[in-house]
Amino acid sequence: MFYREAGDFKTSYAKDQQSFPIKLDRYWVWGVLAIAFLVVPFFINDYWEKSVLLPFLVWSMAALGLNILTGYCGQVSLGTGGFMAVGAYACYKLMVAFPGLNIFIIVILAGLITAVVGIAFGLPSLRIKGFYLAVATLAAQFFLVWMFNKIPWFYNNSASGMITSPERLMFGVPITGASAPPWATYLFCLTLVTIFAFIARNLTRGRIGRSWMAIRDMDIAAEIIGVPPLQAKLSAFAVSSFYIGMSGAMLFGVYLGSAEPTEAFGIDKSFLVLFMVIVGGLGSILGSFLGAAFLVLVPVLMKNIMVGGFGWPADLAAHLELLFIGALIMFFLIVEPHGLAQLWRMTKEKLRLWPFPH
Amino acid sequence: MKVKLKSISAAVVAATIMATAVPAMADLTFPMLSYRTGPYGPNGTEFADGYADYFTLLNERDGGIGGVKAVTPECETAYNTQKGVECYESTKGQGALVYQPLSTGITYQLIPKVTADDIPMHTMGYGRTSAANGKVFSHVFNYPGTYWDAASVIMKHVSDMEKGDLKGKNIALVYHNSAYGKEPIRTLEELAKRDGFKLTLLPVDHPGQEQKSQWLQIRRERPDYVLMYGWGVMNQVAIKEAGNIRFPMDKFIGIWWSGSENDVLPSGDKANGYKAVTFHGVGTDYPIFDDIKKYVADTGKAAGDGSNIGTALYNRGMYAAVLAAEAAANAQKMFNTKEITSGQMRDGMESLKVDNARMEALGLKGFAPEINVTCENHGGPGLAAIQQWDAKTKTWSLITDFVASDRDIIDPLIAEDSAAYAKENKLTERECKS
């Protein structure tokens, strides 16, 4: 009744193959995008920008990247934090070396540099699988963070080893630095995430995505039917690292404004993104967003309710928050092992049949 | 679903924020970006308790500052920069007067933000050392001393123990491998060049539980002195390891952040004789503690569980609050208004003078050296003393006077580093009228 294909006739292949073939889905997406682009920028303030929207967008981008690698291509990676660090330091070096360069281009370039690094660390995936690959990417995580801490060239020999993002403009509006207005940073990140979520969606529906999924489901069978594992795995590593690098660049440049490698890009960040992907739903673009929203926004929400709403002590709230988030993750994994995205898929199925289920 | 989930949660978030973020403008707000959880929690708790208790004392005893109540809304950062930023954004709208994040990482994050928002930040003995140059860092203060002052004072003490000759000595620095721990390296390198000692660097990664290889190296190389820039659980582990390899404790000297009771108590008798530098007095032998007992502890208004009163970090938190309150009172006097703004607070901090007579009036005679902040110098006098741990009585005691650091080494470094910051951010030095 509310949600169905009946009556939604397609008269051309192009229409049948569009991203969201069901009319209501399409309206939802356009509606959300319209609100995000046209309404939110007028109401955003510093708090919503720095505590809610930017972290959500940045981590969504990282989750998208890891979902491509782990969810679609089946290669488990624990190197996300390290790859984000590559993006952040590439962003910093580019910002400092080319002060006139547009920040949009810098973020893309930082992503490309990370893609190259990702390919290098993806090479072992051709020989090792599963847990062993996870350990190999773990090595990438530790190596990269150690390197950025150790070699002074990466942080321009600053006394503390911290990198700080200078002010960079786009269309005359500062995007990085302290005087960047909230709407500008928000729109900047939103545009990037929207463009690349759309690209990811279409990549995963096309030939490349299908080759990734074939590798994920059974690599030997995929090889026999003619999917080259070398290209499929390395392209997954490249695209995934590209996304993760961009998220690292946004995290450092736009969101935090300064970073040190051990703290901002530690192993806990790799796990955080992995949890986002697993909780949100492996092999789902929507799942990446839901997972990021769950793990970024729920802690903020709980803190506001407990400290702001009930006036509980901050430390008690912090402990309870850890407890609740852990419990919620376990709850969701037990109730719905395929993640939050699967809940939506099931809701869709039910809505289609409603009010006459089998 | 995506829309529904998001809109529902957004509505709930909005509702809770609206319900809570009504700023009580009639109060003087000193937000606390504290941490009572995580590997740095034990240290953060003591500091936070001291900070909160002093404002409670002012409210209970004097009715606030200049008749206006002080409030200290608390926000848990867990020493995490990302949470620190969130805490800053969520509290700055409540009329925040001054921020004291107690984390060098968060400080770096906030320096550009507070400057843009016209809110001062006081990073007492931590943060970015070159913020001492007030001409570049208009809104950041790190009086009464900096990391580099500490390094210099520690080396002076070492030099005294060696009768002034450091040539050929091997001095190891065990440091937290972060912005904080790396701060003293440049100063120590300069001092090594001048005094002819050899500097060995031993980084310890966050959170610092694992230091076996560092201490193995110390056991092998047998440096003459070990200095430590550690924080949280790293301190306890380092002091334990030093005890295990029987390193002479009086030659093991920590920064003021590695000199709390938490750090030495777990090692028991082995920690006896451990030293740390400090910029304020230790113990409860000051009249102010009678008032704290009377107005705060005995009335059940103490922050936390009230068990930290008189510990080294509690005293530091209290001292931070004293200086903040003095600056607020100064600003009230300067602008002849009771309800000051954050910009006025900044001016109050920049012309803050706390002399010995005032310290005595506060019940803190001899607790800390005189402070005289100027527009050029936000780093304060830079005087520090050495405290030593007595494991029998479980007390710290000062074993030296407050001595000055080598400003002729440090000042050029501050000028150099702040100039680099100004250049990176295209700032011009402001003029200081005097």
Give CA–CA dist B333/B433, Å, rounded. 20
CATH superfamily of B147-278+385-409: Response regulator (3.40.50.2300)
Q: Do B130 and A47 make contact, defined as CB atoms within 8 angstroms?
A: no
Q: Do B75 and A307 make contact, defined as CB atoms within 8 angstroms?
A: yes
Give CA–CA dist A192/A65, Å, rounded. 13
What does the DSSP assignment read for B322-373? HHHHHHHHHHHHHHT-SS--HHHHHHHHHT-EE-HHHHHHTT-TTSS--EE-
Nearest CA in chain A to B92: A47
Reported as a single tens digit per residue, the pLDDT across A301-356 is: 888 888 878 888 888 888 898 898 889 888 888 888 888 898 888 888 888 887 77
Q: How would residue B1 be classed by pLDDT, with cut points 50, 70 and 90?
A: very low
Residue B206 with chain A: CB contacts under 8 Å: 262-263, 266
- CATH 3.40.50.2300 boundaries in chain B: 23-145+284-378, 147-278+385-409
Q: Which of A26, A35, A52, A258 to mutate to test the interface with B (most CBs of B within 10 A)?
A: A258
Contact A179/B at CB under 8 A: yes
Reported as a single tens digit per residue, the pLDDT across B281-337 is: 998 999 999 999 999 989 988 888 888 898 999 999 999 999 999 999 999 999 999
CB-CB: which of B1, B16, B76 is closest to A304? Answer: B16
CB burial of residue A296 (10 Å; 0-12, 13-18, 19+): buried
Tens of each residue's pLDDT in chain A, 358 residues: 567 777 778 888 888 888 888 888 888 899 999 999 999 898 888 888 888 999 999 999 999 999 999 999 999 999 999 999 999 999 999 998 988 889 999 999 999 999 999 999 999 888 888 889 999 999 999 999 999 988 889 988 777 788 888 888 888 888 888 788 899 999 999 999 999 999 999 999 999 999 999 999 998 999 999 999 999 999 999 999 999 999 999 999 999 888 888 888 989 899 999 999 999 999 899 999 999 999 998 888 888 888 878 888 888 888 898 898 889 888 888 888 888 898 888 888 888 887 777 6
Which residues are within 8 A (CB) of A183 and not within 5 positions of it... i.e. 6 or more apart? A41, A42, A44
Which residues are within 8 A (CB) of B119 and not within 5 positions of it... i.e. 6 or more apart? B92, B96, B97, B98, B99, B139, B342, B345, B346
Give CA–CA dist B165/A57, Å, rounded. 58
Contact A248/B at CB under 8 A: no
* Selected residues 165-184 of chain B with any CB under 8 Å from a CB in chain A: 177-180, 182-183
* Selected residues 127-156 of chain B with any CB under 8 Å from a CB in chain A: 128-130
Distance in Å, alpha carbon of B27 to nearest chain A alpha carbon: 18
Contact A293/B at CB under 8 A: yes
Determine how many CB atoms are found less than 10 A away from the CB of residue A51.
25
Give CA–CA dist B28/B141, Å, rounded. 19
The stretches of A98-172 forming alpha helices (DSSP H) are 103-122, 130-150
Which residues are within 8 A (CB) of B385 and not within 5 positions of it... i.e. 6 or more apart? B153, B277, B278, B279, B398, B399, B400, B401, B402, B403
Q: Which of B182, B202, B421 to mutate to test the interface with A (most CBs of A within 10 A)?
A: B182
Collapse the DSSP code of B245 into the 3-class scheme (helix H, G, I; strand E, B; otherwise coil) and give the result.
coil
* Selected residues 302-341 of chain A with any CB under 8 Å from a CB in chain B: 303-305, 307-309, 313-315, 317-319
* Residues facing B97 on adjacent strands: none
Residue A52 with chain B: CB contacts under 8 Å: 13
Amino acid at B316: R
Contact B8/A at CB under 8 A: no
Sequence length of chain B is 434
Q: Which residues of B387-418 are buried (b: 16+ CB within 10 A; e: fewer)?
A: bbbebeeeebebebebbebbeebbbebbeebb
Q: Do A162 and B16 make contact, defined as CB atoms within 8 angstroms?
A: no
Backbone φ and ψ of B341, nearest 5°: -100, 170
Q: Is residue B314 a contact partner of residue B281, using CB atoms and an 8 Å limit?
A: no
Contact A214/B at CB under 8 A: no
Q: How would residue B3 be classed by pLDDT, with cut points 50, 70 and 90?
A: very low
Third-level CATH fold of B23-145+284-378: Rossmann fold (3.40.50)
Distance in Å, alpha carbon of A175 to nearest chain B alpha carbon: 14
Of A255, A61, A238, A261, the closest CA to residue A141 belongs to A261
Q: Do B182 and A160 make contact, defined as CB atoms within 8 angstroms?
A: yes
Q: Do B13 and A300 make contact, defined as CB atoms within 8 angstroms?
A: yes
